[in-house]
Structure 1
Amino acid sequence: MESMFILVPISIILAFCIGYFFWWSGKSGQFDDLEGPAYRILMDDDSTDKLLDKDKDEADEHQKR
């Protein structure tokens, strides 16, 4: 029974902290774009392919010398 005097206030404080951080994340825009990061992973970045092709061409020219 004595532990209830400690655990109940701790759980209430924890619940308020969780509620505050949830409210803060909503106000700061954390939930504005939920699908964007998932699609960004799937998008191809052609600039890295061009760099790899350029390096391959330079290596081929170096071998020809």
Structure 2
Amino acid sequence: MEALYLLVPLSIVVVFAAIWIFFAASDNGQFDDLVGPGMRILQDDDRPAAASEADDAKKGDGEKA
């Protein structure tokens, strides 16, 4: 029974912390674009890595993105 004196207030604090984290993430725009990252993974880049490095060298960048 004494455990309830600890667990009930602790669970209330955890619930309020979870709600605060959710609303903080929502205010910071964490959930603005839920579809974009899922669509971005479907875009296929067929160029091999060596060809993309050669193209970068031809452009004169010298730096890799």
TM-score by length of 2: 0.70
1:50 shift after superposition: 7.7
Q: Which runs of 5+ in 2 are unaligned?
A: 55-65
1:27 shift after superposition: 0.2
Q: Distance in 1 between matches of 2:32 and 2:16?
A: 23
- Between the two structures, name the one with larger relative contact order (CA 8 Å, sep ≥ 6): 2
Does residue 42 of the first structure (1) align with residue 34 of the second (2)?
Answer: no
Listed as ranges, the matches of 1:1-65 within 5 Å are 1-48=1-48, 51=51
- The share of aligned pairs that are identical, in percent, is 43
TM-score by length of 1: 0.70
Q: Which runs of 5+ in 1 are unaligned?
A: 55-65
| Higher helix proportion | 1
Q: Which segments of structure 1 move beyond 3 Å, counting only runs of 4 or more?
A: 46-50
Q: Distance in 2 between matches of 1:29 and 1:6?
A: 35
Q: Distance in 1 between matches of 2:47 and 2:32?
A: 28
Q: Distance in 2 between matches of 1:12 and 1:22?
A: 15
* Greater gyration radius: 1
1:47 shift after superposition: 4.9
